[in-house]
Amino acid sequence: MARFKQSNNCVDCKCKSSIFKALSSTELDLINNNRYEVSFRAGEMMFKQGTPSPHFLCLTTGLAKLYIEGYGKNLILSLVKPVEYILGPGIYVDNRHHYSASAVEDSTACLVDVTSFKQIMRSNPDFSDEFIRRISIMTIFNFEQFISLTQKQMNGRIADALFYLSDQIYEKNPFEMTISRQDLADLSGMSKESAIRILKELKDEGILSVNGNILHILNPQQLKKISITG
């Protein structure tokens, strides 16, 4: 289960999100006095869709997934790595989470009281601008995801997911895929069986090397062609 602590001070913290650079020492003290650190084991729920959202969550280590719980199936919206924050639109609408979050790897996060966050949003325009910019980037990414999921065939969707993992999440090629095959399927909007089948096809065609959880994109040009043609 999740473990709670409060060790580092926000002013001296080396792993805080760049969004906090816009805060004064007084504002950082306000954040520090209204937050606590939580450790999550891989697979643990951080928060559940539909529950109250009293906190602003900043991931400091590990990897998390954000997903919508549908009718018997999940759709992964994005993966979150350090040092990024998780805060849904519900805090300004109904104070509820509109998606779930869980740890993909052993992770730590700081949970900040949302009242303190809103107080700083109202008084610090630079912080507000940066927050809105980050939210806008996330929204644009979701738009691109919708295009991929609704207009591309399964091979194109897997290709997009592999580039997303290689370029934005693990930032290397080859990479160790710490998400499960089911997560890859949920990120691509298909069944686990379909995702596994397409990975095997890409491997057989020499486009991808798969050795356990180590994936290597051997022919990125061909994979990009599959992504474009859908």
Q: Which two tokens stand for residue 36?
A: 């606590």
The Cα–Cα gap between 230 and 117 comes to: 41
Instruction: Give whole-number Cα distances, 67 to 45, 52, 80, 208, in Å.
Output: 11, 16, 11, 26
Nearest to 16 by CA among 99, 96, 112: 112
Phi, psi of 175 (to 5 degrees): -140, 155
For 157, residues 6+ apart whose C-beta sits below 8 A from its C-beta are: 148, 149, 188, 189, 190
Give all domains of the chain, ordered by start, each with its CATH number. Answer: 3-124 (2.60.120.10), 152-229 (1.10.10.10)
Contact in structure between 223 and 167 (CB atoms under 8 Å): no
* pLDDT the model gives residue 3: 52
**Residue 156 has what pLDDT?**
96
Provide the pLDDT for residue 70.
86
Residue by residue, pLDDT tens for the chain (230 residues) are 555 555 566 666 666 677 788 888 899 889 889 888 999 999 999 999 999 999 889 999 999 999 999 888 899 999 999 988 887 778 888 989 999 999 999 999 999 999 998 999 999 999 999 888 888 888 898 898 888 999 999 999 999 999 999 999 999 999 999 999 999 999 999 999 999 999 999 999 999 999 999 999 999 999 999 999 87
For residue range 208-225, list pLDDT tens digits in order.
999 999 999 999 999 999
Q: What is the pTM of this model?
A: 0.89
Q: Which helix (H) or strand (E) holds 60?
A: strand 55-61
